[in-house]
Amino acid sequence: MALVTLNFESAYLNQAQYITVILPDKPDGKTAEEFYSSGEKYKVLWLLHGTYGIGNEWLRRTKVELYASKRNMIVVMPDALNSDFVAWPEFGMGYDFPNYFVKELMPLIHHWFPASDKKEDNFIAGLSMGGQGATQLGFMYPDKFAKIGAFSYPLINYHKHDDGDVFNGEFPEYTKRFFTQVKNQGGMEAFMKSPYNTWDMFFENPEGIELPPIHFFIGKEDFFWPVHLEMKRELKKRGRTDVEITEYPKLHHEWEVWDRAVHAFIDECDPDTIGAGFRY
C-alpha cells in the first residue's frame, strides 16, 4: 500500500491539521501506467481514533494497512484531539469538527485522491471516543455513509445516566468530561437534543430518518460492558434487529479488540474483492 501524510490548514478547526491516508498499491501483473491511469475509484473507510489518541496510531497498533490492502480500500485517519468529534465554539479560535469533516476533509479526499464519493462506497468507524464520533457523524449525515462501525462504544442512555456517571464512580475524569460537554452544548436540555445524544438519535428518531446500519464490537471485560448490556436490553425491548453485535470473551478496552474489529469491518465493507491487488 501507499501511505500519505498530509498537513493543511483547516478553516473550520482554525489550525493546521494532519491526516494519514492509506492508498491502494500497484498489484503484480499491472504496469504503473495501467494502474495509475485506470481512473478507478476506490471505497473509503473513515477511521477515527480514541481519547488521548491520534490518527496514525492505527498504523502502529493494528494491521489496518494489511487488511485494507486485501480489499483495495482507501483508509483515512484524521486527528481530532480529545474533541469528541463535535464543535467547540469556545475552544481557541473555534473548533468545528463536523463541518471540517464533511465540508473540508471529505471533499479533499474525494477530489484529490482516487476515492469514490458514493454513499455505498463510504464507511465510518472508530474506537471508543472514535466509535462515538463515527456514530454521531453517521447519524448526522446518513446520506454519506453505507455503514457505521462502533468499536468499544455502545449507545448510552443519558436519560438514565444524566449524572454522567456511567462507570459507577470508577472513572471520575469521564464524568467531568461529560459535564464539560453538556456545558459546551448549552446545558442539559440542549445536550439531549444534540448529536452527542446518540441514544435518542437512534431509538427515538422522531423524523424517521433512515440511518446507516451499525455494527457494535466490544470485549466482554470492557468497562463499557454494563452500558452495552443496557443497550442490548433496549434493543430487545423495542424489537430492534437492525444492528449487528460482535462480543469478544476475555478482552478489555484494548487494541486486540480494535485490531480484530477493524479487520472484520473492512471485510464487511467489500466482501467480493479479497485478494485484489494484495501482494504476499
Is residue 127 very low, low, confident or very high in pLDDT (cuts 50, 70, 90)?
very high
Q: Are 236 and 189 in contact (CB under 8 A)?
A: no
Domain 2-269 CATH class label = alpha beta
Q: How far apart are CA 30 and CA 124, in angstroms?
A: 30
CA distance 46 to 67: 14
Q: pLDDT tens-digit profile of 197-232?
A: 999 999 998 678 899 999 999 999 999 999 999 999
Q: Residue 174: its pLDDT value, please?
A: 83
pLDDT at 20 (0 to 100): 97
pLDDT of amino acid 206? 67
- Inter-residue contact 52 to 81 (CB < 8 Å): no
| pLDDT, mean of residues 88-95 | 86
> Under a CB-based contact definition with an 8 Å cutoff, are residues 56 and 77 in contact?
yes
Whether residue 103 is predicted with pLDDT greater than 90 in this model: the reply is yes
What are the pLDDT digits (tens) for 55-89?
Answer: 999 999 999 999 999 999 999 999 999 999 998 88
Q: What is the distance of C-alpha 270 from the center of its chain?
A: 17
Share of the chain above pLDDT 90, in %: 78
* Helix 64-71 × helix 255-269 angle, to 10°: 10
What DSSP string runs through 249-265?
Answer: TT--SSHHHHHHHHHHH
Distance CA 21, CA 6 (A): 8
> Has residue 1 got a pLDDT over 90?
no
Mean pLDDT of 161-187: 86
Distance CA 99, CA 49 (A): 18
Q: Residue 274: pLDDT band by 50, 70, 90 thresholds? A: very low
Q: State the average pLDDT over residues 118-132.
A: 97
Residue 212: Cβ within 10 Å count: 20
For residue 188, give every residue at least 6 positions away whose Cβ sits within 8 Å of its Cβ, in sequence order, or none: 162, 182
Contact 143, 157 (CB under 8 A): no
Which is higher by pLDDT, 69 or 169? 69
Over residues 243-253, the mean pLDDT reads 97
Q: What is the pTM for the complete model shown?
A: 0.94
In sequence order, the β-bridge partners of residue 127 are 151
Q: Where are the domains of the chain?
A: 2-269
